[in-house]
């Protein structure tokens, strides 16, 4: 008899929801995303083999989650009345459904995100409302926080690197925390606005160091350490908590 797959697991004082999906591929996978566990099971695995995979993935998730700091960060709440806490601002979210086929977004009084969701969109896509609110809120916050990013990057560059930088921007990405291209463009993951300030600065230092060395050689890490001697603490935080940022 197959096991009953748990819909949530308890790790310490926290409860994490578990979602199961059937994947149209030969391998199974597990991810911790947006504060929950997502297990994708290959359609080719069944019975006791599938049970074994689920147990293995749940053990892996528990080992990762037990390392998460108790107050690692404040999770953004993308719904009406929700709060989104960044390094320099707390955003309040006001969401309502409006007539017509177009959604509208606006930033009022410096920190109030007003989002009007198209009534037609809600009618046609009733299950996508929350994701749409998140997408629109993030779009507005990235625009508002660009000046902050430029300030941090500019300060660190002036203090430690003195290199030409074409531009920097926030980017929605789950695969990495930052990148620096050969064209001297720096991208920083938007989700790092919810990480501790020193972790955010470390990723900026890491990418600025690539303006000196486009690799991870000994010379590259020497530049990182010169700008941030305790950078390994930030790296550890990312290893233990980074996956919880989304």
Q: Can you tell me the distance from the alpha carbon of 155 to that of 178, in angstroms, rounded to the nearest whole number?
A: 18
> Over the stretch 210-223, which tens digit does the pLDDT of each residue have?
999 999 999 999 99
pTM attached to this predicted model: 0.81
> Over the stretch 82-129, which tens digit does the pLDDT of each residue have?
999 999 999 999 999 999 888 899 999 999 999 998 887 777 777 677
- Look up tokens 């059937």; give the residue: 22
Question: Residues 53, 58, 63, CA angle at the centre, nearest 5°?
Answer: 130
SS3 label, residue 172:
coil
Position 70 confidence tier, pLDDT thresholds 50, 70, 90: low
114 or 36, higher pLDDT: 114
């Amino acid at each position: 008899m197959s096991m009953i797959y748990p819909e949530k697991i308890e790790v310490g004082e926290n409860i994490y929801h578990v979602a199961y999906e059937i994947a149209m591929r030969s391998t199974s996978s597990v991810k911790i995303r947006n504060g929950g566990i997502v297990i994708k099971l290959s359609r080719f695995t069944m019975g006791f083999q599938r049970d074994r995979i689920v147990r293995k993935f749940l053990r892996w998730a528990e080992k990762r989650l037990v390392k998460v700091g108790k107050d690692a960060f404040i999770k953004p709440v993308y719904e009406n009345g929700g709060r989104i806490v960044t390094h320099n601002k707390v955003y309040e979210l006001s969401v309502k459904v409006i007539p017509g086929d177009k959604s509208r977004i606006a930033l009022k009084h410096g920190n109030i995100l007003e989002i009007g969701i198209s009534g037609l969109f809600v009618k046609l896509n009733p299950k996508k409302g929350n994701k749409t609110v998140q997408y629109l809120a993030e779009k507005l916050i990235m625009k508002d926080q660009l000046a902050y990013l430029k300030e941090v990057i500019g300060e660190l560059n002036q203090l430690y690197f003195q290199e030409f930088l074409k531009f920097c921007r926030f980017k929605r990405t789950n695969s990495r925390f930052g990148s620096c291209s050969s064209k001297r463009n720096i991208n920083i993951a938007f989700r790092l606005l919810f990480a501790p300030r020193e972790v955010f600065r470390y990723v900026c230092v890491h990418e600025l160091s690539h303006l000196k060395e486009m690799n991870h050689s000994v010379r590259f890490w020497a530049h990182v350490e010169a700008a941030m001697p305790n950078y390994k603490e930030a790296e550890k935080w990312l290893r233990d908590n980074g996956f919880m940022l989304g």
